[in-house]
Copies of this chain bind each other. A is one copy, B any other.
Amino acid sequence: MPSTAEPDALSAGAKRGRPGYDQDSVLNVAVQVFNKHGYDATSMGLLAENLGISKSAIYHHVPSKGDLLRLALDQALVPLEAISEHERARTGTAEERLEFFLRSTIRVLIERQPYVTLLLRLRGNTEIERTALERRRAVDRKVADLVVEAQREGTLREDIDPRTTTRLLFGTINSMVEWFRPDGPAGAQQVEDNAITMMLDGLHTRNL
C-alpha cells in the first residue's frame, strides 16, 4: 500500500538523490507487504511493485530482503528491550515494575503495531528470524521473572502458575495487534487501562 508512505522531500533518501522514499518509508511499506503476504512469499519484485520503484532502487536503500526484515524487526524489538532500561522498571515493588512493564509493552505494541505484528508472526525459518525470536524471548523472561518476584513479595496471588500466567499476560496483550484500530471507538489509553484492569484486578465487581 504505497499510499501510506508519504514522499518526503527532506528525507535522507531524497538528499541522496532518490526522491520519494527514505529508508523509513521503504520499511513502512515493506512491513505491510510482509504482513499481508508473509515474509517467505514476499519477493523483492513484489516489494518494488508495492513501492512503485524499481528493484535496483530498493537496493539503494538496503542490500537484501533479509536486511529489510532485520531493520523492520528492530522497530519492534529495540523499544521493547528499552523498557527494562527505564528507571521505573528498576525501582519500586515487583508489582509496580510488572505493571510498568505491561503498560509499556501495550504502548509499544500500539505505536509500532505493524512491526510488532511482523515479530509475532515469525516462524523462525531463517537465522535473522531465530535471532529476533531469541531477543523476544529474553524480553518475555523479564516479565516471567517479575511475576515470580511479585508472588514472593505477596502482591500477586499464589494460586496461579507463573509460567502459565506469563503466557496469558502476553496472550492478552499481543492479541491487540490483531484487533486494535487507531481510529476505532476505544482509544489507546482506554484499551491500555482496560487491559491492565482486567489482568490485575479482574472483571468482577466483587473485587472492588
Q: Point out residues on A near B: beta carbons under 8 Å.
A: 38, 41, 95, 154-161, 163-165, 167-176, 178-179, 185-186, 190-191, 194-195, 197-208
Contacts and interface: CB of A to CB of B under 8 A. Distances in A.
A17 to B, nearest CB: 39
Contact of A204 (B168, B172, B201): B201
B194 A198 contact: no
Contact of A208 (B157, B164, B191, B199): B157
A199 B198 contact: yes
27 contacts: A38-B38, A41-B41, A154-B205, A157-B203, A157-B207, A159-B197, A160-B203, A161-B186, A161-B190, A163-B186, A164-B191, A165-B194, A165-B198, A167-B176, A168-B175, A168-B194, A169-B198, A170-B175, A171-B172, A171-B173, A171-B176, A172-B172, A198-B202, A200-B202, A200-B204, A201-B204, A202-B207
A48 B159 CA distance: 47
* Identical subunits present: 2
B202 A160 contact: no
A205 B174 CA distance: 24
Given A175-B167, A176-B171, A157 B204 contact: yes
A95 B204 contact: yes
Given A163-B185, A199-B203, 8 more contacts: A168-B172, A168-B175, A168-B194, A171-B175, A171-B176, A197-B202, A198-B199, A201-B204
A151 to B, nearest CB: 9
Contacts of A155: 204-206
Contact of A201 (B173, B197, B207): B207
A172 B179 CA distance: 13
Given A204-B201, A205-B155, A194 B160 contact: yes
